[in-house]
A and B are shown apart, each in its own frame.
Chain A
Amino acid sequence: MSDKAYVRTEMLEPRDPPPSSVGPIHWIRENLFATWFDAILTILSAAAIIGLLIEVVPWLLSPTWGGTSLDNCRKILAAANHDGGACWGVISERWLQMLFGFYPAELYWRPIAAFVLLGVALAPVLFSDKVPGKLLYFTAAYPFFFPWLLWGGTIWGPLAAAAGFFIGYGVYVVASRMVGNLTGVIAGILAAIIWWLVLSGYAVDALAGIAPIGIEPVESRKFGGFMLSITIGVVAIGASLPLGIVLALGRQSDLMIVKYLSVWFIEFIRGVPLITLLFVASTLLNIFMPPGTDFDIILRVLIMVTLFASAYMAEVIRGGLAALPKGQYEAADALGLDYWKAQRLVIMPQALKISIPGIVSTFIGVFKDTTLVSIIGLLDPLGLSNAIRADSAWNGIVWELYGFIALIFFVFTFSMSRYSMYLERKLHTGHR
């Protein structure tokens, strides 16, 4: 302590920080008006937002949900003295069509049930820690059940398709005991293919003759709207993941011929736009099949979209495989695991985890790309919107219709990307 008079002997009470460095004012200064350039940007964007809201909010709040045509909407707006409002009549009149296309109205329960059950089937995959694992059996059975609910027809078709897997597995078990593992695998695959291509048709006909159990069939050309987009998206996504894994492994393989076949396939598919593959689906796929084959347009589109997605998926997974340290492969070898065991137990779980962001963005891309089917004449939401805009009652409608479609796509894809972030956090068990 000093005895000098000009030195303070007691501590001052701490004072509050100046109002400019705490609270909202500080925040605004720091985040909105830090420099003069920031200030200009802030003022410009605030002006843009306010201007947009002044335009958009009254437009959204327009009382035209009962409008029956664009002219009718304008009359309602004029009567309500509401200038420049949206014409929501088109949505209230056509939203069912936008969702289901021309699917028979009395059968709407079927797609609804199919998609609700799809959610149930996906739950154990998507939220494995919150849903009982027993549900996985339902997930495994659902791929056969889903198309049956949508297209209808005899129950024996999906059952015969499922039976192919059991037959293949049975042959594999028996043959691998008798002649060895690899021969068993080949025999099992051959048996399943023979069943699907040759025998199952007769079996289905015979069983349908004996026990005609089934629901009313619905033709593919009645499919449309978001139901069609989601169906194509889900099937292509589900089928492209395993195919993509196989292609990625093929591309990383030491077997030269397998490797080059995979590389050519992947590079070819990635080098051409999806629309050319859809042209193949709409005009050429029937020509590639045995004479007289005429299979369903949606099935053809599904095949081509799946091939397209699997090439992209393969590249994403290859990235994950390449990102794994070489020690992982060597450690798996050192443990004496064979190729498939090493892939299943060591490599794939890690590689897939690394590639989750890429896989989900491929999924989002595939779902968005389903809109391209409107170009080859399928009535997905965009195809329907063309039809609606060509209707004389709604001729000239733009914002309401496309805004509605864009909003629904946004909800789906945005929730997919949020899910991917959740999954990354959940699986982030790495050591950093």
Chain B
Amino acid sequence: MNRRHETRPECHGDFSVMTTLTDPPKEQFRLSMLLYDMRYRSATIQVIALMGFMLLAAWLINNTAQNLAALGKPIDFGFLSEPAGYDINQRLLDYNSQDSHLRAAFMGLLNTLVVAVLGCATATILGVIIGVLRLSHNWLVSRLMTIYVEAFRNVPVLLWIVFIMAILIETLPAPRAFRGDNPTAEMMLGDSVAVTNRGVYIPEVLFSNSLGDVHLFGNSPLRFDVSLDLVVILIVLGLGLWVSRLIKIRADRIQEATGDRPTTWYLRLGVVLVPLLVVLWWLGFHFGYPELKGFNFRGGTHLRNSLIALWLALSLYTAAFIAEIVRAGIMAIPKGQTEAAAALGLRPRRIMSLVILPQALRIIIPPLISNYLNLTKNSSLAIAVGYMDITGTLGGITMNQTGRELECVLLLMLVYLLISLSISAVMNWYNESVKLKER
């Protein structure tokens, strides 16, 4: 056993201790050993650190309590159940200004998730395309993509958001430009999409034999309606995909047994599409097109400028980062892998899907997920263009109306922390599942 201690002559008295390694004398515990004995020193430092932290925390909490008492507003989350009194123009569920602040925050949270999901999807598609094109042998294209990446990465995302918002408002035609005998603007895609400076109107999905909605959670702030049409469609789609997978498994088995792979693509497509189309027909699926009525468009789904500006800016900005990640991931795979796969007789498409991509994805996905996290956090900049996300509702109007800064900011941070932690949990799970098994 190594029982040597760091001892100092001036605090111990004699030098003989340093030479007795085998049988140290029974030592009395002295106060100075807390500092100079390696066995206690780390504990001492930790206790001092903890005490310092607790003192700081106690000081901050004490100050806060005194200040809040002086202001006459002790911490109280009761305001959440009071009527919010403001409207949210872009929302997924039913809401009116008489609903509570909690309901408003819930709408905001859903709006945050909407723009985050939309943004992540478009940023990924754009980013992969740009990253691959940047690796292209085509000189002109790869230079153009470099310019794109540098331009979007090096300018603040908030600037892109307000810039795109300003462009939408100032340069797109007003709804009245669509009116009259020879209008200066016209609708796109066969009169189905109207791009105006008040937002974009797209066709909405309607069902003439709708099954109706199911109301969940009664009258609580978290109530929401589930469309039975959507549920039925999802179930049919899921079943179709499952059958398609069974067909694939059977094809794999036949291939392993006989060496010939039966042609199955029309079968697999059919079992997904045919039931889906039948169900859509049964439900009376059709589009509701936007129409100009009076001074504005009616019908269709209205995507407001704030949502479009935020969505576009976040996607374009994050796509520049994703492009770099994709490029780095593909470049990290040694050329020998491609050559070895070619030597095995694989065709270029199979090389990409069986050899390069599985290895590149292991490198690409962790930073990709952390970029999704960044995009979600950046969506809080919605407040700059008036998109009512969780920051705009809870951290914006609710905070200003009720004056409950501490409570609102705490809740806001908690919500974002929960979102971030769930995304990191997904990332950790993925990292664990693709980890190289080292022996």
Contacts and interface: CB of A to CB of B under 8 A. Distances in A.
Interface of A: 30-32, 34, 38, 41-42, 45-46, 48-49, 180, 182-183, 186, 254-258, 261, 268, 270-276, 279-280, 283-284, 286-291, 364, 368-372, 374-375, 382, 385-386, 389, 396, 398-399, 402, 405-406, 409-410, 413-414, 417
A279 B409 contact: yes
A297 to B, nearest CB: 15
Interface of B: 35-36, 41-42, 45-50, 53, 60, 63-64, 66-68, 70, 133, 136-141, 144, 150-151, 153-159, 162-163, 166-167, 170-171, 377-378, 380-381, 383-384, 391, 395, 399, 405-406, 409, 412-413, 416-417, 420-421
Given A271-B420, A371-B158, A255 B49 contact: yes
A169 B35 CA distance: 21
B42 A255 contact: yes
A342 to B, nearest CB: 15
Given A32-B139, A271-B416, A279-B399, 20 more contacts: A30-B137, A31-B140, A38-B136, A41-B140, A45-B144, A46-B140, A257-B49, A258-B45, A261-B50, A271-B420, A275-B395, A284-B409, A288-B60, A291-B70, A368-B155, A374-B384, A385-B162, A389-B166, A409-B159, A414-B150
B14 to A, nearest CB: 19
A272 B63 contact: no
Contact of B138 (A41, A368, A410): A41
A276 B412 contact: yes
Nearest to A256: B46
Nearest to B419: A271
A272 B377 contact: yes
Interface centre among B46, B53, B60, B66 (most CB of A within 10 A): B46
A45 B141 contact: yes
Contacts of A41: 133, 136, 138, 140-141
B46 A42 contact: no
B156 A34 contact: no
29 contacts: A31-B139, A41-B136, A180-B36, A186-B48, A257-B50, A270-B420, A271-B417, A272-B412, A276-B413, A279-B409, A279-B412, A283-B405, A287-B405, A288-B63, A291-B66, A291-B70, A368-B156, A371-B156, A372-B381, A374-B158, A382-B159, A389-B166, A396-B170, A398-B163, A402-B159, A402-B162, A402-B163, A414-B150, A414-B154
Nearest to A257: B46
A413 B154 contact: yes
A274 to B, nearest CB: 8
B155 A410 contact: yes
A284 B420 CA distance: 23
B4 to A, nearest CB: 14
B159 A405 contact: yes
B68 to A, nearest CB: 7
Contacts of B144: 45, 48-49
B53 A261 contact: yes
B134 to A, nearest CB: 12
A274 B380 CA distance: 9
Given A34-B137, A275-B380, A287-B63, A398 B159 contact: no
Contact of B155 (A38, A279, A406): A406
Contacts of A375: 158, 381, 383-384
Nearest to A399: B167
Contacts of B141: 38, 41-42, 45
A258 B42 CA distance: 10
Contacts of B159: 371, 382, 402, 405-406, 409
Nearest to B48: A186
Nearest to B150: A414
Given A41-B141, A257-B50, A409-B159, A272 B166 contact: no
B158 A42 contact: no
Contact of A273 (B137, B162, B163, B391): B391
B406 A284 contact: yes
Contacts of B45: 255, 258
A279 B395 contact: yes
Nearest to B41: A182
B353 to A, nearest CB: 19
Nearest to A277: B413
Contacts of A46: 140
A38 to B, nearest CB: 5
B166 A398 contact: yes
B138 A42 contact: yes
B137 to A, nearest CB: 6
B35 A183 contact: yes
A281 to B, nearest CB: 10
Given A254-B42, A287-B68, A409-B156, A276 B420 contact: no
A34 B137 CA distance: 8
Interface centre among A182, A268, A273, A386 (most CB of B within 10 A): A273
A271 B63 contact: no
A273 B380 contact: yes
A280 B395 CA distance: 11
Contacts of B158: 371-372, 374-375, 382
Contacts of A399: 167
Contact of B409 (A45, A186, A280): A280
Sort A-B residue pairs by CB-CB distance and give the 8 closest, nearest first.
Answer: A271-B420, A368-B156, A31-B139, A273-B377, A283-B405, A273-B380, A413-B154, A257-B46
Contact of B154 (A34, A290, A410): A410
A420 B426 CA distance: 32
Contacts of A274: 377
B49 A272 contact: no
A409 B416 contact: no
A182 B42 CA distance: 12
Contacts of A273: 377-378, 380, 391, 416
A417 B163 contact: no
A417 B150 CA distance: 10
Contacts of B166: 389, 398, 402
Contacts of A370: 156
A386 B46 CA distance: 50
A252 to B, nearest CB: 14
Given A284-B409, A402-B162, A38 B151 contact: no
A28 to B, nearest CB: 9
Contact of B67 (A38, A186, A275, A291): A291
Contacts of A371: 156, 158-159
